[in-house]
Each structure stands twice: as structure tokens, then as C-alpha cells.
Structure 1
Amino acid sequence: MSNPRRALVMAAAAVALALTSVPALATDIPPADTVVTSPNVTHVLNIPKPAPIAGTINTDIAFQGDYAYVGNYGGFSIYDISNPKKAKPVSSVVCPGSQMDVSVYGNLLFTAVDSSRSDDSCNSTSQPASVKESWEGVRIFDVSDKANPKYIKSVETNCGSHTLTLVPGKGRDRDKNVYVYVSSYNPNATFPDCQPPHDKLSIIKVPLRNPTAAAVAATPVVFPDGGNETQPGLLLPTSGCHDITAYAEKDIAAGACMGDGVLFDISDRLNPKVTARTTDPNFAFWHSATFSNDAKKVVFTDELGGGGGATCNEATGPNRGADAIYDISNGQFTFKSYFKIPRYQDDSENCVAHNGSLIPVKGRDIMVQAWYMGGLSVWDFTDAANPKEIGYFERGPRSAGGGGGIWSAYYYNGYIYAADFHEGFDVVKITDPLTNNARRVHTDRLNVQTQESYRNW
């Protein structure tokens, strides 16, 4: 970690838990480094990390057209996925700064930097946040030439950018501007650019015809009276949001905000309003959110422990480190149930509910989700009170030791793509009666934190 505020920027892994009540046997754990899948899942391809960033971990993924953009603590890589069975790297950009959450819009790639750097350049080095001249925030790249991306702009934001969410403009503004909701947290009185109580978002306005004019346009406070700060078992008291998923066409967003789950009205892009809040005694750290396609449900993930714990096990119990499924009715949350992967992991394996996306199945609510060394899980929450896993892909414990696993796993145009800390970029396919009709749905982009409805069923 480059400074104390980054206790949650993870280079190892996090914590989760298992749903099954039957203790796992040693014989249930796959051999070291071995890929195992459910019968309906096929491992299509693995691409090791390209040499320029092979020494740092993979993180998030964004998609546009025939390309996938994979973030990495050392920068990012672009992959040609026009033929998923023969996907290949096109280029890699070395530009260090955790955790490199990525989103793409037109020819612009936005990357989040949540580690204090000596300056905003790609040659920067780690520097304490207590130094006023240190930089962290959002970097913008022009990716019109996939083989030669160009770094065109940086925007510094208070407390950096742990994650970022693109929100298109509305009406006539849609073709003029895109907005970047920057999530950050954990202020410290010794950090000049990250003062407590924080509790806010930074919103960057990006003029699409002149992206180098991008700048912070608003800093709305999410928790004017303070967030959840006293609940026993919280990883950290609420001081901002970890991640936000915007459903722009419906003018709503869901915020996973440390100790709080939040629903926003984002009809005024620069002035999001909190319309509902909830807490959960079993949640330690609200990490991310996914709406159902009809926005009548939302799945929140809990990043129990924040990293490194081997707690996909019986000891942790069924209700901690889980996903929580909520109905949204009359603008308010109603808790329905928890979901955990029903596969215990070895005590050497870190496991946590992490990043996932919907699989566009008509009439059902199904998503794929990363669980670090728990692999990826395909699960059905159509019956919100009784979710169930329907497929999985994972690897056995690392022979090299230490943590790792799949950071993000997303469905895009017929395939599942996964970014693994150490193992690189995986292409996976599920063949199942519950998911097969998703193959009919194709889109030309996917930024998971910017949900768009699936209309061409």
C-alpha cells in the first residue's frame, strides 16, 4: 500500500463465504492451478498478461465493438475479441496507479487512479498523500488507434478515484457531454486533498468534442448527516462510496457506499439525490451493485474483510460476505435474501463477492460474478428469495502461493470474459437451457457500471 488510506486497494484478495451447509472435504479442492468447471461451462481460452504489465495484477474490464479493455495496476491492455476463440492482445499501456477501473465511451478510455502518485504522468512514482503536490484521480486516453492509445488528459479528484462510473448526458446534452461519477473514500486529516468527513462524489464533466477540457463540475455530498459509522463489524465507517452503478435511461443509480446501500435519482446529472438508504448487520463493506434489467431488483455485494481472507468456508457462516438481493418498490429497498457460492475453498485461497454483470436472458434474472479464488459463478435470482448457482469456473489453489483469482467476470455477446489477477484474460462459455437465449442479444458496448437495458430480446 502506498499510504494508510489505501488499506482497501487490494493487491491480494478479499473475503467471502459459502452457502452450502455440508463441510467441504480435502478431496473437493481442485489440485493446484487446475481449472475446474461445472458440466455446462467450457474454458475456451486463456491469454497470459502481456509482458509490459505481466508483473502487476489485472482488474476491471470494459467492452466496445470487437475490443475488450482490461485494467491492470500497471496500466491497461486492449484485446481483439472479434473471434473469442482466438482473442489476442493488441496493445498494452504502461501507466501505473491502482486500481485502474476502466470505462470506454466513443474513442475515450477513462481509468481510475486511487494511489497517491508523484504526478499525473505515466512515469510517476508512489508518493504519500500527505504531500500536497501528490496526484490521484482520473486519466483519459484516446483509443481511436487501438495499437497506439494516447494519454490526453488527467483530472485530479479529492481522495482519488477508487472506481468511476460513466453517465451519458440527457436529451440534447447526450451528444455533447458525458459525466464521470468518481467514487472515493477514507479521508485523513493529514491528507491536504482528502480531508474528512468527505462523504461526497466528484463529478467530472467531459465535453465530447473537446475532452481535454474535462474538469470537476460538482462535488455533491451523499451523506450530509454522516453515513453508517457505528455498526459493529464494519470494515470502515462510511466516508464516501466504493462504487456506483448508473441506469441512466431510468435516471437512477445504486451506490455501494462502504456501510450503506443507496438509491439515487440522477435525473439532474450534476446533482444526484439520495432517495433511499439501507444498511445490513451482516454486511462489512458495501462493494458494488447490479440492477435487474427491469430495475425492480438490485444485487449488492459485500467485500467482507477487504482483502486476503480465506473465508469461503463453513466457519464464516451463510449470511456474511454474501450478495444481498433487494426488491425496489415505490422507490425503497426491501431485502429478499443472500447468495453465496456453494463451493468451499481451500484455506490458502482468498475469496470474495466481486464484480459481475447480467446475462441477458428474457424473462429471468441471471448474472455472472467473480469471486476471486472462488472463480466465477453463474447464478439465477429470478426468485429473489431463492437464488441458486447454475454454473461455475474456477482454479485450484496457486502453487506459487499467495492470493489472487478473478477480479471481474462479465458476459458480452455470447461469451464470459474474466480478468484474473495473475493468470491473465480468460474466455469462458456457458451452454445451458437457462442461458442459451442470451446469445440472441448483442450490444456494441458494455461498461458494467453504466447499465443499459436489453431491448432486442
Structure 2
Amino acid sequence: MKSRILVSVIIGFLVMAFSSTFAVDSSNVDLIGKLAGGVPEDVFVQGDYAYVAAFGILSILDVSDPQNPIQVSWYDSSIRASGVYVSGNYAYVADATSGLRIIDISNPSNPFEVGYYDTDGDDANDVYVSGDYAYVAIGNAGLVIIDISNPSNPSKAGSFDTPGNAYEVYVSSNYAFVADGGSGLRVIDISDPSNPSEEGFYDTLGYAYGVYVSSYCAFVADGGSGLRVINISNPSNPYEEGFYDSNFPSTRGVFVSGDYAYIADYWNGLRVIDITDPSNPFQAGSHDTPGKALGIYISGNYAYVADCWRGLRIVDISTPSSPDEEGYYDTPGQASRIYVSNHYAYVGDIDSGLRILDISDPSNPSEVGSCDTPGFASGVFISGNYAYVADGWSGLRVIHVGTPSNPFEVGHYDTPGWASDVYVSGDYAYVADEDSGLRIIDISDSSNPSEEGFYDTPGQAVGVCVSGDYAYVADRDSGLRILDISNPSNPFEAGFYDTHGDAHGVYVYNQYAYVADGNSGLGIIDVSNLSSIYEVNYYDTDGITWGVYVSGDNAYIADYWSGLRIINIYDPLSLSEVGYYDTPGWAIGVYVSGDYAYVADSASGLWVFEYIDLIPPNQPPVANAGPDQTVIDEDNNGEEQVTLDGSASQDPDGTIASFVWSEDGLQIATGINPTVILSTGTHSITLTVTDNGGLKDTDSVTIKALEEGKGFGELPTGCYNNVFNPTKGEKALIVVKLSKQAHVRLNLYNARGNRIRELADEEKEAGTHKYYWDGKSDNGNVVGSGLYFVHIQAGDYKKTKKIVVVK
């Protein structure tokens, strides 16, 4: 029977039902739901809908009410959407990992993929559609022209490799204008799509990220050099008409409408530039968005800004001199660590503090509350009604979460370093404070936490797990440090293990510390004896191991660009990957609770997976202590040697690791066929077998040891010493008791029914007669171990008895 575990991945917080048709890279892990999110990079508006390329997904928002945009659906297939263009019933998505995706959006609430064109791994940054062609900016590969006349079967029409890094493309008439990074603006003649050629170029002062053509000018978003206005009236000889230098690091996107150019100016949000005189543009107004403005689209009186890490911002531009935010759809996307308690997931999000999600229905999680912290929330731990947040440069924040829909801060302690992680035990919060090591904070008064003690580790303390009197610290390039915290005011190092890689996280379970060791994967460290700490084994993953959580027989790994990896650790000496899902973002943290695992997948979203465990549960062994025995003390010394037989014991799905024989609760022997000395009398011997999974079973055998002179004459016809080892000189005894003279025949057979030895074929007088079998066949060779039968015939009496030969 297959056992199942639901696996979730968190980071963006956009709520919708899952829809996907394209196969993803996974094994034994099925995607069944998602709280979608991402990092908005581009936006296109058509009618009442905004189509947002949000890195991990294409998000479709109903913006008919600009004050209250609503997500109606999304499309994801592990795509990394960086650009989007809508034409008719299709959204054309530039996928940074695999080229062009064509999505049917005729029903915006149910998008699905109809076709794609693979650009062989080159980065597809942007797309522009004109007629039957999609013009795709493919980074180092320049411009690729794709025939989309049949959307279900797009094909390459032509290409032109620009000298720089093609970021964006705009098509006007017979020309494609390419923002080509360090090579400025390139003008490509596309009158023959199968044979495009460069008509002209203008090497701008900065780094060309975006381009928009209006009238005789190309407006170039030129990174640190602001907005450049290029006269393209003669495409073969473009020149700069004017410019607006924003004096800020990176102008990333531009859209022209009427007399204004609207630029996405990175950290500085939206800038409105008056271009009435293209030779002398100037700023007319601005609006500072909370994130990093990367893309922009103008529709009517609104500017739609793709505001990296802070979602889609809708800005009213009806008065260009004073643009004002009308509404937004927030998609914070830098979750780093997660803690699950009851029906809530508490997520530390670097950009927006503590996020609280209702996960009572894991297939449809929803955000119920949040509390924005002043720093960069990177770790969270729940204890009672409080969330303890490691908040980067703002230290430890204590947030009351008794009412999840209304969290609020009640206290804080500003640690000297960068608070990366936190673990709470008793009255203390243990903070991994990077360069300042481990800080121990007294939280007995939640409104006034204070430092009780600290230990400055040699590396950078970025992860912490407490077990008993010890704090286990992931100390980056100094590996695993183990601190004795029995006296919180005076912690000291009790041991350490310098791991192969860069320790990012640690989880302690039983005698092992499981270390997320960066480029070196998962390390398993035996910490049962702190004077002799050693690595038992390691598993080198495909990515960079950032987080680890152990549950049952599996370690769940947040493996950065390789997503979620599930490693079976049942036998630490023999590790194996049993499942994985390559998420589109960067998996950073993981938490397992009950049947679910929650993974912080930076720049993606909350994914709900089903992990199908194809390894069946361990089946218990079956003990068999062998047949009952009667042995004779022939030398009358009060004891007799007996061979025990557990060879018939079985384990249906593995191997038996140990055989233990006991009498009256005391161990008397081990092994499958041990030889023991028993005193005369009746003995009840118990066999306990244990399999390699730790499961046990028992069986008992009765052994009678009779004295030769005190009962032999009373022995009935039968077989005695019927479990014996002939290589030790032992023999089986067959007794025939006759009330009158009779012909006696004794024959031995193997398990196949073949006769192997004739012991007797003779006439015998009345009385008791003894025959011994020394374990040899008629040819004089000792037989092999196994089950044999002796057939006894005396006159009309016939009987068959079992004999077991062991060696």
C-alpha cells in the first residue's frame, strides 16, 4: 500500500486554484494546489485584465476596479516569466528558461498552454507580437523571430545575433528596435523575417534595458543613464535627440502615451517625463513605489507598474504632475523560513515581515494577517501566543499572534549582528546572529526581552536548533558548532565538526545532526558522543542546500535552484533520493508538520504537492523457534547439549538482523543455530528476532532433557535429539518400542522425498530399541543443513517424524 505525504512550497501569497498542463521536472511528487506568487517583472493590459509576468507564473488580474484588483487565475509550468505580450486570445510569455510559451486566455479564469518554442536554454527576456510573428529578445542570442501563424506549432522564421544582451524589443513598421544592454539600441530590418539584418545602431551611454517607439523617436530606458531619446527618422543612422538623466542607478522600463514618457525607475518607482520637446525632456511628476519598478504599461488614466517584490501597483496618472496610487495587488516574494503551528503557517518574509496563512485547507491556503517588521524577517519561531522573528539588522522582534488576523509587536531586542534565525526553548530565544555568533535572549517578559548570554562562534551563525542542553549552530564556513547552554548566561563550545561545505541550516533528530551544507548537500553528523563527533554520511544534491527538516524516514531539503529534494535517511549509511520537485524559484527554507511540508521558494509561490512514497512500510519479521525437542542425558551428568534452530524465521521485506534466545527473561544464546547446555528437565526457550528496520517477533520452543536411567524405558516410539549438528559429533535418536516381536524398517528421506539412508531393516524382539543417525547418507557423506524425515515401520505401526540438521 502506498503511503502519501502532501508537500507545500511557500513564498508569494496569491490565492487561486491550480491550473497547469505542461510537464515539470519531478519524481514521485505531484502538484495538486498552489498559493501562487512571484516577482513581477513585466505587465501588459488588455481590456479589464492585467497580465503580469511574475517570474514563477503568469498572473491574470481583473483590474476593472483599479482600487481593488483581483487575481482571477494564473498559469504556471515551472516557467520563469520575464516578459509578456497579449494579442487576441493569446498571451505570449517570454520564459527565461525555455523560450516562448503561448497561452490561450480566451477565458481569463482558465488559461492553458497551446504551444511553445524552445530556445535551447537561452534567456528569453521579452516578446513583441506583430502580425504572424513573435519577436523575442533572447539575451546573448539576440533577436529570434518565431512564426506563430499556427499557435499550437510555432516555428523559427529567422534570427539576428546582436552584439550585446538583448533585453527588450519593440516593432514598428519594418523594423525591430532592440534594447541590447551594453550595446545600446540596435535597429533590425525585419522586412524579410527569414533573413533579418542590422540597419543601424546607436550605442547609448548606459545599459539599455527597455525601448518604446513613438513617432520618429525611440525612447530607451538606459539603466544608470536614465531615459535616452534617440531620433530614428533615418533608421540607418540614429542619433540622440535628447535625454533625461534620473541620477539614480537603474531606469528599467519605459512606456510612452501622449506627451509623456513613463519610466520604471527601479528603487525610485514611477517617473513621469514630459517629452513635448524630445530634445529637452524633463520630469513632470513621480510616485515612489515600495518595491523595485521593473516594467510599466499605460492604459487610460492608469499606469500599471510591475514592482519587483511588491506586486502590481496601479497609479492614477490623470494628473501627470501628481500621480497617486489607486490600488495594488501585493505579491511579496522573499520568504526565507517558515514555522507551522495548528492551522497556521507563519512566514518570515524579508520584504514584508511576518505573514500569517490559514492552512486549514492545505489545497487552498489564504493570508489572514501580517505584521511588517522594520528589518529583514528571515527566521520565525512560534511559542504560545508569540512569534519570535529574526529580523536581520533589527534583531529579535516579539509579535503577539493570539489573534492571527491581528498580529502586533509587543517587544524587541536589537542584537549586535544580523539576526538570521531563531529557536525558542523555555524562557530563552536563541538567535543565530551571523558575525556576532549565538545570542541568548531572556524572553520571560515578552515586552522587555534582554540578553542573558552569548557565544561568538568563529564563522557566521545563520541557523540554530536546540536539543536538551545544547544549541547546534550552522556556522557557514566553520561548519557545525555545538554549544553547551545548560547555563544560559555562560554558554561554551562543547564540540564542533567542520563540514565540507557552507553550513546554512541544521536539524537535530535522535543521535544525528542533519546539516544543510550548501554546495556539499546534506551532511549527517553523529553527535551522540560530543568527544568524538564524526560524519556518518552525506548526500550531494544538485543545488545548494539551504534548509533541512527531518520527519520519519525522510529528510526534506530546500535545495535552492533545484527546489525540493526528499532524501530517505532510514539507513544513514545508505542514503537515496526518493522524490523531488524542481520549483521555478529558489527553495530556501522547509518545515514539516503532520502530512505536509512547507518550503520557502523565493520568487515563486505556495505550492502544494503530493509525495507518493513508493517504498512500502516495513513489514515485521516472523520468528520460528523450530520444533519441540526431547533429548536424552545419556551420561547421567544432569545436563545435555542442545542445538537450537531459528532457521525457519523469515522477514518478508528485508533481512533479520539478530536472533536472541532467552529463558525466564534471561538471554542464553544468540545466532540462528546456537548450541546450549541445558539441565535435565523441561525448558521453555523464547526466540526474539529483530529485522533491519527494528521490528521484532517472538516464538517459543519446549525442550525436554530426560535422564537415561530415569525414564528412558518409558520413552514411546519416536525421534529424539531431532535437531542436531553432525559436524559437532551430535546424533539423532530414534526409539522403537515393541510389545512383541516385529520387523523394523527405518528409512531417512530429504525434503524432496528422496531416500538418503537406510538405518534398519531387521527382525527385533519385544522391548525398546535405540537407533542413532549420525547425519550421513548411504554413501557416507554428511548431508546438508535442512529438514529431513524418518519413516518408522514396525509390524503394522507406521509413523513419520521430522529431523532438522544444522551446521
TM-score, normalisation: structure 1: 0.42
Of Structure 1 and Structure 2, the greater helix share is in 1
Q: Which structure would you say has the larger Rg?
A: 2
Which structure: greater strand fraction?
2
TM superposition score normalised by structure 2:
0.26
Per chain length, whose mean CA-contact separation is higher, i.e. which structure has more relative contact order (CA < 8 Å, sep 6+)?
1
